[in-house]
Chain A
Amino acid sequence: MTTLLEEQVQAKVDLPLLQNIHKAAALDEIYVPGHRTCAGCGPALAYRLTCKAAGQNSIFLGPTGCMYVANTSYLCVPWAVPWMHTQITDGGAVASGISAAYEARIRKGKYKGTFPNIYVFAGDGGSSDIGLQAASAMIYRDHDAIFVCYDNEQYANTGIQTSPQTPYGAWTTFTPPGPKIPEAKKLWPKDFARGMIALHPALQYVAAASISYPVDLMNKVRKCANVHGSALIHIQSICPKGWGIRSNQTLMVGKLAVETGMFHLFEYENREYTYQYQPKAFKPVTEYLKLQDRFAHLKPEHHAKIQEFVNQGLKRCGIKIPVEAV
């Protein structure tokens, strides 16, 4: 019996897409039990699904963030594949270096295996804020590596601080609501994935996925892996602690984010967008907001503002289903 790894070492093959949940569930577990992430952790689920789709011929990089600290406490590593910590600032750069090293070593006959899939598993801070420069540079140089942004919409490792992905109106420890600032966070978030597409016109594949749609997520990861060159996947990863929900609500909130249009599932391939979720009607954002403690202080006018923002976003995507604020 040959293992998947031995097969891949003989000749690099494209990872087949998964037809259904049974195929997905049967895959090897690369991100194994035994890590200190919170109960119901969205980013941990994102990690597990990404690893499961990635398979054994992979190298994972963990820029500093909750998925570094919580996963590797006390000399533990829960990954059955090589993993390395990088600074929060330079996940993309280290991935570039590893990619270049394998290019050179394989070309010079110094490495016998095939080119591994290199994944940078960066948080929203490590990709859209302090790590943006390195992420952009990796994609610009088109290194054969996959940049994964697990987006929990905050700096969670340090105890819930605002990041450029934190939505308008969200409570964080740096944006508490008060009489002077009733809406807590006043700024609108960055649109990371589309921003990277705009910035890198040669980027071949970009996807936005949610942990609440696991097979879709895993297939998007596999498409990233099959690209020769850089690929980017933006995964919305719900954080029960930071968002003020119960541990068993993670997937529900992730689903609602998609159903209200707060987060779009899309693929960008051959210079074109396709949207995976196009219902007859989107739900009003209030349904999403009222579930989460981080939006508990918001008044109806703030809900209306967010609804307006979401509607504009849907319109810009060509999804013409306006929703009125409730």
Chain B
Amino acid sequence: MKERYKKYIVEIPEEMSIPYAGIVESPKVNGEQPMMLTGGWRIYRPVVDHDKCVMCKSCVLACPDATVLLVDGGQKIGFNLDYCKGCGLCTWVCPVNAIDRVPEIDFEDGVPFQDALFLLPHVEALYAD
């Protein structure tokens, strides 16, 4: 029986294989989903002035992408620039105007809009061959 019905089975080449039933593993808590890097979308980069910052953490809860981080043992505000889309909500929500929006082009490692995607190491690796 098995032999007879072999002809109906679609042989799927290794390189085309996909997760069973499209079921995928979830990312880790407090982790990242590196399959979808979005830092390359950014035109303005958030830059925090630590002298002005009062650590009210409003910006932490204002980010749709969870890219506003508490760094230095929770003492300072930092950004996860691999994913920050540069929407500017952290800047808007800041009560003391401590977060500036600086054009990406002003940074040496800034992401020019067109080529942004390929400057991110993960994505570059994906398109390597």
Does A116 make an interface contact (CB < 8 A)?
Answer: no
A248 touches B27 (CB 8 A): no
Which residues of A from 1 to 32 have beta carbons under 8 Å from B?
21-22, 24-26, 28-32
Does B65 make an interface contact (CB < 8 A)?
Answer: yes
Number of A residues near B (Cβ < 8 Å) is: 46
B24 touches A37 (CB 8 A): no
Does A80 make an interface contact (CB < 8 A)?
Answer: yes
Partner of A25, one of B70, B80, B86: B70
B28 touches A75 (CB 8 A): no
Which residues of A from 58 to 83 have beta carbons under 8 Å from B?
73-83
A29 touches B66 (CB 8 A): yes
A34 touches B37 (CB 8 A): yes
A56 touches B29 (CB 8 A): yes
A34 touches B34 (CB 8 A): yes
Does B89 make an interface contact (CB < 8 A)?
Answer: yes
In the assembled complex, the CB of B84 is this many whole angstroms from the nearest CB of chain A, namely 8
Q: Which residue of B lies closest to A35 (CB)?
A: B36
A250 touches B89 (CB 8 A): yes
What is the predominant secondary structure among interface residues of chain B facing chain A? loop
Which residues of chain A are near B74, meaning CB under 8 Å?
26
Does B85 make an interface contact (CB < 8 A)?
Answer: yes
Binary contact readout B44-80 vs A (1 if CB under 8 angstroms, 0 otherwise):
0000000000001110111111110010001000001
Which residues of chain B are near A244, meaning CB under 8 Å?
none
B83 touches A29 (CB 8 A): no
Q: Given A45-B62, A74-B35, A214-B62, are A28 and B22 neighbors across the interface (CB < 8 Å)?
A: no
A78 touches B33 (CB 8 A): yes
Q: Which residue of B lies closest to A42 (CB)?
A: B64
Does B32 make an interface contact (CB < 8 A)?
Answer: yes
Binary contact readout A29-55 vs B (1 if CB under 8 angstroms, 0 otherwise):
111111111111110110011000000
A248 touches B29 (CB 8 A): no
Which residues of chain A are near B27, meaning CB under 8 Å?
32, 34, 77-80
B61 touches A21 (CB 8 A): yes
Which residues of chain A are near B114, meaning CB under 8 Å?
none
A76 to B31 Cα, complex, angstroms? 13
B89 touches A30 (CB 8 A): no
Does A252 make an interface contact (CB < 8 A)?
Answer: yes
Q: Given A40-B64, A44-B65, are A33 and B56 neighbors across the interface (CB < 8 Å)?
A: no
Which residues of A from 86 to 131 have beta carbons under 8 Å from B?
none
Binary contact readout B97-108 vs A (1 if CB under 8 angstroms, 0 otherwise):
000010000000
A76 touches B62 (CB 8 A): no
Of B19, B86, B91, most A-chain CB atoms within 10 Å:
B86
B30 touches A32 (CB 8 A): yes
Which residues of chain B are near A22, meaning CB under 8 Å?
57
B32 touches A34 (CB 8 A): yes
In the assembled complex, the CB of B47 is this many whole angstroms from the nearest CB of chain A, namely 15
A32 touches B66 (CB 8 A): yes
A240 to B88 Cα, complex, angstroms? 12
Q: Given A24-B61, A29-B66, A32-B27, are A39 and B87 neighbors across the interface (CB < 8 Å)?
A: yes
A44 touches B62 (CB 8 A): no
Partner of A83, one of B26, B41, B80: B26
Binary contact readout B1-29 vs A (1 if CB under 8 angstroms, 0 otherwise):
00000000000000000110010101111
In the assembled complex, the CB of A259 is this many whole angstroms from the nearest CB of chain B, namely 15
Q: Which residue of A lies closest to B37 (CB)?
A: A34
